[in-house]
A and B are shown apart, each in its own frame.
Chain A
Amino acid sequence: MQISRSLKRVIFWLLGIPVTLLILGVYHGLMQTIYRAGVLNDSSFLKLEYYQGLTLHGVINAIVLTTFFAVAFGHACMTFFLKKEPNKKAMWISFWIMVLGTGLAAWAMLAGKASVLYTFYPPLKGHPFFYLGTALIIVGSWIPLFDWARMYREWRKENPITKIPLAVLGTLINFIIWFVCTLAVAYEVLVLLLPWSLGMADINVTLARTLFWFFGHALVYFWLLPAYIMFYVMLPKLAGGKLYSDLAGRVALFLFLLFSIPVGVHHQFSDPSIGQNIKFFQGLLTYGVTLPSFITAFTIAASLEYAGVKRGAKGLFGWMARLPYLDTKNFLFAYLIAGLILFVFGGLTGIVNASYSLNNVVHNTSWLPGHFHMTVAGPVFLGIIGMCTYLYSKMSGKKIFMPKVNVIIPYLWMIGVLIFSTGLMWGGLIGEPRRTNLGMTYLNPEHELFTPEWVPTTMLALLGGIIMFIAAMLFIVVFFGTMFKKKELEAVLELPYSEAYHDEKRIPLFDRFKPWLVTMGIILVIAYTPALYDAVTNPGPKAPRFAPANPVPDLMKIK
């Protein structure tokens, strides 16, 4: 469809800015594997410190890229499937707030004033602009939800008994989850961290951590749901088939709405001051999120099988050989299938993490980044970069630069991640810590803390890291190469969408939000009231501020 220039420009900027920053984010990803393998035994390289780079890597890749993309992809899905455009003013206000936030946070990180990692746990203190910037990115991303809700209501009035398009349902559910979960982190940042970082109050660390993880786990579904939309709505079509069941997609999405947030305490199994029963209960609820993932695994596999059989496959597994893995015109398939393969392992290792006592084995070891690079750097990242190239090329009417390379990138990346994550997870099982400049001590043969067991594991991660870096740089070349090409085709907003193989009758329950929102609220209150009560009552004194390089607290205070 044809869209206004304004919408087109906002989407281009929302894609272009994070992809540019990604160069920095990916560079620091590679650098970490180099330090960690003991190739570098220093605290910094080219004037950028290890922990500063780790902060940049996390914030750019996991917050800026994902949030900007989710908004851009949301605009595209809402516009294309409802045939209505978002409000121009709201769109640009949201954009500028997010850009301003990114600018503030980027300045604080690059100036070395906020080496506090993307989880920014107090009482390690970053520059106030870092917190403010992060809050602005989040607040800016709220605005589109309210405008999309208006578009949806208008569409609903015109189409009272049509099923809401699956991509629209996914987009709205994703941003409802995002809005609810970010309320907690906005409170943490604006009410607890900002005054504390300005020296106006001390801070209850456990409360801050609990609020962070109220947001932190739902965050991973906010990353993931755009990829889910692509899996349900687009992948079957790209494979040449149909979506096995339309209703399955709706059920899965609503289950995410219920269970994405009230599970955050499973990140705090090792924390003090929170009762074991609450930890166990939220561990159980975490299994609530495995159900939509199982449903998805079946539905997508069945859709792909259908596509393979339609292409002439025989036997039980013949369909796997018949899919368009290297079709340059259909390159989005390659990105999605490679992401899906990674996600199988990402999902399974995620179940390990949620399993209560097993957390003692893996918590905060390098197992964890091993796991989440197969989710956020798996289907999420591949979906994002594939869709960036796809949307840009369609909406600008330009052909892909180096199409043959473009279709290889996801597989190269997938192989890199598999090697990288194997190294990290193996290391994690023998105690290798995450977020640590291992090269200075544990992987430095000259140092008394040298730990030879971690040599093969970090070497493997280095090898994977190099392959990932090459794949990511190739993407950068393809994306910007496409940008510099001439317009050859008609510029349109066009997204692939699948018909359903089982297109079930409209079931009103799965076509409205209210009952689900109420249930979501009830589960949240049940799951989080006791956790927050513990976080407020069990801790003792509140903490002052500590700079990363100084064990003496900063007691600037307070009349």
Chain B
Amino acid sequence: MSVIDKSEKKVLMISGVVIALFIFSMLYAKDQYNSNVPECVPFDKAYTEPKVVQLDEKTYQVFSVASMWQFEPAEIYVPVGSEVDFFLSSKDVVHGFNIAEKNVNMMAVYGNINKTTVKFDKKGVYKITCHEYCGVGHQNMQAEVIVHEPQSK
């Protein structure tokens, strides 16, 4: 008799197939839905000033700075259809940066720059919630992305 019995062999094979399927889905989702994790950007002091920069009609750069207990800028206006690069930094402790509806999910870390890109296809108000404990005022820390029709503001 071999060491491994028949049903064990089967189960190992099924496990292998299931894991391969998971990994394939991971790769597929990453490329197909452009849903990568945040990018690695070496620290640059120029990125730590809060501002919104319009590169062209539909492309924006947002330099968001988290601190105890606010995001600057607190309100970010972009027109529908904009592609926004968020550059995120922290002035003090670790903060979170979560736009739940757009699956934007980053940590803001002192001395580090975090970056992700997201496209806003629908008009509306998107909440940015701090989801990392950052001291006694943590539960007050929310900002907004306001996505409006191109002509109005």
A residues within 8 Å of B by Cβ? 43, 49, 51, 54, 117, 121, 123-124, 204-206, 209, 245, 247-248, 268-276, 279-280, 283-284, 287, 290-291, 294-295, 298, 302, 351, 355-361, 363-365, 430-431, 433-438, 440-442, 449, 502, 504-505, 507, 534, 537-543, 546-551, 553
Of the residues B19, B98, B104, B112, contact of A365 by C-beta under 8 Å: B98
Of the residues A43, A280, A351, contact of B22 by C-beta under 8 Å: A351
- Contact A302–B7 (Cβ < 8 Å): yes
Alpha-carbon distance A283/B40, docked complex (angstroms):
16
**Shortest Cβ distance from residue B100 to the other chain A in the assembled complex, whole angstroms:** 3
Task: Find chain A residues with CB under 8 A from B142 CB.
Answer: 449
- Contact A204–B132 (Cβ < 8 Å): no
Task: Find chain B residues with CB under 8 A from A540 CB.
Answer: 43-45, 111-112
| 10 tightest Cβ-Cβ pairs between the two chains A and B | A431-B100, A540-B43, A433-B131, A272-B114, A551-B68, A294-B15, A272-B112, A543-B110, A548-B135, A357-B35
Task: Find chain A residues with CB under 8 A from B68 CB.
Answer: 546, 550-551
- Contact B26–A357 (Cβ < 8 Å): yes
**Shortest Cβ distance from residue B143 to the other chain A in the assembled complex, whole angstroms:** 11
Between-chain CB contacts (< 8 Å), 6 pairs: A245-B5, A273-B40, A355-B26, A364-B96, A431-B127, A548-B135
Helix, strand, loop or mixed for chain B's interface?
A: mixed
**Shortest Cβ distance from residue A204 to the other chain B in the assembled complex, whole angstroms:** 7
Known contacts being A360-B35, A363-B105, A538-B112, is A437 close to B139, with CB within 8 Å? yes
- Contact A543–B35 (Cβ < 8 Å): no
- Contact B104–A360 (Cβ < 8 Å): yes
B residues within 8 Å of A by Cβ? 3-5, 7-8, 11-12, 15, 18-19, 22-23, 25-26, 29-30, 33, 35-45, 67-69, 88, 91-94, 96, 98, 100-101, 103-107, 109-115, 127, 129-136, 138-140, 142
**A-B contact number at CB 8 A:** 211
**Shortest Cβ distance from residue B57 to the other chain A in the assembled complex, whole angstroms:** 27
Interface centre among B109, B127, B142 (most CB of A within 10 A): B109
Task: Find chain A residues with CB under 8 A from B132 CB.
Answer: 121, 364, 435
**Shortest Cβ distance from residue B64 to the other chain A in the assembled complex, whole angstroms:** 12
- Contact A505–B36 (Cβ < 8 Å): no
Of the residues A205, A279, A434, contact of B37 by C-beta under 8 Å: A279
Not counting A295-B11, A358-B29, a sample of 11 additional A-B residue pairs whose C-beta atoms are within 8 angstroms of each other reads: A121-B132, A124-B94, A206-B112, A209-B109, A272-B40, A273-B43, A357-B26, A363-B98, A430-B100, A449-B140, A540-B112
Known contacts being A247-B3, A360-B37, A534-B40, is A272 close to B133, with CB within 8 Å? no
Of the residues A287, A358, A437, A547, contact of B138 by C-beta under 8 Å: A437
- Contact B127–A290 (Cβ < 8 Å): no
Task: Find chain B residues with CB under 8 A from A121 CB.
Answer: 93-94, 132
Task: Find chain A residues with CB under 8 A from B104 CB.
Answer: 360
